[in-house]
Amino acid sequence: MIPRRGALGRALLATRRAARAAAAAALVVVALPAHAQLFSDDEARRAILDVRSRVEQLQREMVKRIEDLSTRVERLEQTTRGQFELQNQIQAMRQEIATLRGALEVQTNELAKTQRGQRDLATELDARIKRFEPVAVSLDGKQVNVDQNERRAYEAALATFRGGDFKGAQVAFQQFQTAYPQSPYGPNALYWTGNSQYAQKDNKGAIATLQAFVQRHPDHPRAADALLTVGNAQVDLGDRKAAAETFRIVTEKFDGSGAAQTARERLVTLSGPAPKR
């Protein structure tokens, strides 16, 4: 039961007061016969009728007041019940809001974690892609784009040559040319293949390779050095005439270069008596 306070209590108090007034009026009616002996019959009748009228009027007013009060009490009870239900609804809504806030916090954390994962994945993918994207390199004074695996393969072969493993370098450069036939490194790979052969004293192989290099790339920055090596290989084979011709071509075609100066010195050497073998 919801406790009745405020207006509800006041309504009950008024009801009690009306009841007391009705009771007092009834006592007056009961007491009238004893006092009626002091008055004449007409006066007594008028007094009784007047009292009865007043009592009936008071009763009607009391009934109406009670009905009004009952209506107000009922409304107050309904209002109180409504307020109580409203409080319950508000409390339930607060609990639901707290639950939703907790769920939102969890979802926010999950979203942040997912976004971090996506950023990490994007960074990783970007790094992977970059490993395969062409890179710009300077090659013989020119800027060219090469595949990163292509560059690594060429640099590995060149490092093998510089490390003194000429046989391994020859194999590496030949494999490179097979794997990357259109590579900007192709001319250099052919050049170093010939030098690898010459370093192994494969003079015939070196001559064939380096002559092919000069024929395919006559304006290459290493063409003069390639012909100089061809001439040295011809000397080693004992073909002094072919060597002299090769050195002469170097001095004429590449005059002013370091290779041309070396070729002139070789020609002077060749003009003397042939060394005993």
- Reported as a single tens digit per residue, the pLDDT across 151-171 is 999 999 999 999 999 999 999
Shared-domain flag, residues 117 and 155: no
Report how far residue 91's alpha carbon sits from residue 263's, in angstroms, rounded to the nearest whole number. 103
Q: Name the residue with tokens 């008596």.
A: 273
Q: How much is the pLDDT for 9?
A: 63
Q: Poorest-confidence range of 149-153, 166-170, 177-181, 272-276?
A: 272-276
> Is residue 136 over pLDDT 60?
yes
CATH number, position 162: 1.25.40.10
What DSSP assignment string belongs to 124-171?
A: HHHHHHHHHS-EEEEETTEEEEE-HHHHHHHHHHHHHHHTT-HHHHHH
Q: Is 131 part of a structural domain of the chain?
A: no
Mean pLDDT of the chain: 83
- Reported as a single tens digit per residue, the pLDDT across 42-61 is 887 787 788 788 878 877 88
**What whole-number percentage of the chain has pLDDT above 70?**
79
Shared-domain flag, residues 183 and 265: yes
Beta bridge partners of residue 135, listed in sequence order: 146
Please, are residues 195 and 229 in contact by the beta-carbon 8 Å criterion? yes
**Full-prediction pTM beyond 0.75?**
no
Mean pLDDT within 60-71: 81
Please, are residues 11 and 72 in contact by the beta-carbon 8 Å criterion? yes
Mean pLDDT within 129-154: 83
Residue 35 structural domain: 7-124
Q: Is 276 part of a structural domain of the chain?
A: no
- Reported as a single tens digit per residue, the pLDDT across 101-120 is 888 888 888 888 877 877 77
Please, are residues 107 and 146 in contact by the beta-carbon 8 Å criterion? no
Report how far residue 111's alpha carbon sits from residue 115's, in angstroms, rounded to the nearest whole number. 6
Q: Is 184 part of a structural domain of the chain?
A: yes
CB count within 10 Å of CB 121 equals: 10
Q: Is 88 part of a structural domain of the chain?
A: yes
Q: Is 134 part of a structural domain of the chain?
A: no
Q: Poorest-confidence range of 34-48, 172-186, 217-231?
A: 34-48
Residue scoring higher pLDDT (28 or 199): 199
Shared-domain flag, residues 112 and 180: no
Shared-domain flag, residues 33 and 94: yes
Structure tokens at 78: 């309904």
The CA distances from residue 187 to 21, 90, 172, 175, 227, in Å, are 129, 84, 14, 14, 14
Q: Is 136 part of a structural domain of the chain?
A: no
Q: Is 139 part of a structural domain of the chain?
A: no
Shared-domain flag, residues 119 and 190: no
Report how far residue 185's alpha carbon sits from residue 193's, in angstroms, rounded to the nearest whole number. 12
Shared-domain flag, residues 77 and 185: no
